Amino acid sequence: MKRRRVAITGVGVACPLGAEKSEFLAALAQGRSGVAPIRSFPAEDLEVRIAAEISGFPPEGFFNAKELRRMDRFTLLAAYCAEKAVADSRLDLDALDPVRAAVMMGTGIGGLEEIISQHDALLQKGPGRVSPLTVPRAMSGAAASLVSMRLGLHGPAFSVSSACTSGANAILSAAWQVRHGMSDVVLAGGTEATLNRLTLSGFINMKALSRRNDNPSGACRPFDQDRDGFVMGEGAGVIVLEEMDRAKARGAEIYAEVLGGAMTSDAFNVCLPDPDGRWAARAMRDAMADAEVATERISYINAHGTGTKAGDEIEAKAIRDVFGDHASGIPVSSTKSMLGHLLGASGAVEIVACLLSMRNNLIHRTLNLENPDPACLGLDFVAEGTREAGLDCVLKNSFGFGGHNVALVLGRV
């Protein structure tokens, strides 16, 4: 069977830098941080009191009261972004064969807010006061299911859960779904809303988070020698993928083509990446092989770049190993330097950032990179500010707890 080409025709985003693609693009171009003191819950007694909370997302204005009662925040975010992506793509849902349209949503944790609130109800008011909707709201598959219900899509609808690679993993799975003729259109992305005292305390005690409470905008410092951990965030990103000839026939504006991708597993440690970065490197190599793209064609790398000591050093090593002498000539930047780490949503939101960068011929900076770590030298981290550049092929890295590695190659059409 002929390998079908996969076009990306629409994007939707809700993240710490805005809930509209125009806001997101402006923030990326300006190099603005979305990290600030926590506002959504009491944090005065915690060692970390900063996070990247969503800006400009008004669920009450987008969903009715019944929908708000039936959905956890992570599902609301996915549904909002899915409908924004459909509108952006100008996709006529009524013209689709609904069985040929699928939904794939990634989430690392799912409806943790619902679990926490109903556990509190159980302890404080007794078992009779636990909501009968607890399980439907909390289950990780709720986002994909609710999106398919709201849009009337009857193809596969499922959740991908692979820690911090969940969103990128869902998008790569969706691309393969279209490539191999199983669906004509797929809405895919990632969503996460687990910014609360429980999750934050777990990461604090793991010693994984930055403690720069007095300097929120300077807290996330990927590849910087003075980095002291990642900044926790929340958000969602969804894109529309469709078969290329179909997209062209309807006159769609195409952001980019998914040329290829790959996944590997470190099989090493539940929290730490493999120290030599060989499996992250293998994911990059396999993604370019799948895309039939030589290393010399990659014009930008969007790094996983969390701001953790081990993660950044190992990713830099893996990039150098893959690209060799060519590595120093490829711009590399970390969107997390502005967004914080959105966990299971991070890869999807960062792919939206890549698509906006490709359409607008810009590479956003790596914010707060003032003193490069000697272990990360040899790469062009775009520290000085936003750079104008035509992007032909983009490599997106996404890594996660449990040793998950995902790499995607996006190409200009």
pLDDT for 394: 98
Rounded to whole angstroms, the Cα distance separating 115 from 354 reads 34
pLDDT for 93: 95
| End position of a domain, from candidates 215, 249, 283 | 249
**Burial call 91-102: b when 16+ CB within 10 Å, e when fewer:** beeeebeeebbb
Q: Does the pLDDT at position 240 exceed 90?
A: yes
pTM of the predicted model as reported, rounded to 2 decimal places = 0.97
- Could you tell me how far CA 303 lies from the centroid of its own chain? 12
Mark whether 218 and 281 lie in a shared domain.
no
Mean pLDDT computed over 246-270: 97
Rounded to whole angstroms, the Cα distance separating 292 from 5 reads 13
Q: Which of 164, 220, 354, 393 is catalytic?
A: 164
Residue-wise pLDDT tens digits, 331-364: 999 999 999 999 999 999 999 999 999 999 999 9
Residue-wise pLDDT tens digits, 134-148: 999 999 999 999 999
| End position of a domain, from candidates 199, 218, 249 | 249
Check which CATH number belongs to the domain holding 372 and give it.
Answer: 3.40.47.10
pLDDT for 55: 77
Q: Does any domain span residue 1?
A: no
Q: Does any domain span residue 39?
A: yes
Q: Does any domain span residue 128?
A: yes
Mark whether 271 and 366 lie in a shared domain.
yes
% of the chain at pLDDT higher than 90: 96
pLDDT for 211: 98
Mean pLDDT computed over 218-241: 98
Mark whether 16 and 148 lie in a shared domain.
yes
3-state helix, strand, coil in the chain (%, to 5): 40, 20, 35
| Token code pair at residue 181 | 């003729």
Q: Which of 10-14, 31-35, 56-60 has the lowest mean pLDDT?
A: 56-60
Mark whether 234 and 298 lie in a shared domain.
no
Mean pLDDT computed over 28-40: 97
Confidence band for 60, pLDDT divided at 50, 70 and 90:
confident
Q: What type of residue is 41?
A: F
Mark whether 243 and 267 lie in a shared domain.
no
**Residue 306 near residue 336 (C-beta atoms within 8 A):** yes
Q: Does any domain span residue 150?
A: yes
| Token code pair at residue 76 | 């609301």
**Residue 398 near residue 168 (C-beta atoms within 8 A):** yes
Rounded to whole angstroms, the Cα distance separating 200 from 97 reads 43
Mark whether 83 and 179 lie in a shared domain.
yes
Mark whether 72 and 200 lie in a shared domain.
yes
Mean pLDDT computed over every residue of the chain = 97
**Within 13 A of 51's CA, how many CA atoms are on the CB side?**
31
Q: What is the 3-state secondary structure (H, E, C) of the chain?
A: CCCCCEEEEEEEEEECCECCHHHHHHHHHHCCCCCEECCCCCCCCCCCCEEECCCCCCHHHHCCHHHHHHCCHHHHHHHHHHHHHHHHHCCCHHHCCHHHEEEEEECCCCCHHHHHHHHHHHHHHCHHHCCCCHHHHHCCCHHHHHHHHHHCCCCCEEEECECECHHHHHHHHHHHHHHCCCCCEEEEEEEECCCCHHHHHHHHHCCCECCCCCCHHHCCCCCECCCCCECEECEEEEEEEEEHHHHHHCCCCCCEEEEEEEEEECCCCCCCCCCCCHHHHHHHHHHHHHHCCCHHHEEEEECCCCCCHHHHHHHHHHHHHHHHHHHHHCEEECCHHHHCECHHHHHHHHHHHHHHHHHHCEECCCCCCCCECHHHCCCECCCCCCEECCCCEEEEEEEECCCEEEEEEEECC
Mark whether 217 and 314 lie in a shared domain.
no
Q: Does the pLDDT at position 22 exceed 90?
A: yes
Q: Does the pLDDT at position 58 exceed 80?
A: no
Residue 326 appears among annotated catalytic residues: no
Residue-wise pLDDT tens digits, 144-173: 999 999 999 999 999 999 999 999 999 999
Structural domain total, the chain: 2
Confidence band for 1, pLDDT divided at 50, 70 and 90:
low
Mark whether 41 and 128 lie in a shared domain.
yes
Mark whether 342 and 222 lie in a shared domain.
no
Q: Does the pLDDT at position 205 exceed 80?
A: yes
Mark whether 86 and 216 lie in a shared domain.
yes
Q: Does any domain span residue 254?
A: no
Q: Does any domain span residue 255?
A: no
Could you list the residue range(s) of the whole structural domain that residue 242 is in? 6-249
Residue 364 appears among annotated catalytic residues: no
Q: Does any domain span residue 374?
A: yes
Mean pLDDT computed over 231-235: 98
Confidence band for 3, pLDDT divided at 50, 70 and 90:
confident
Q: Does any domain span residue 265?
A: yes
Q: Which of 15, 81, 220, 304 is catalytic?
A: 304
| End position of a domain, from candidates 218, 249, 280 | 249
Q: Which of 15, 81, 220, 341 is catalytic?
A: 341
Confidence band for 2, pLDDT divided at 50, 70 and 90:
confident
Mark whether 240 and 359 lie in a shared domain.
no
% of the chain at pLDDT higher than 70: 100
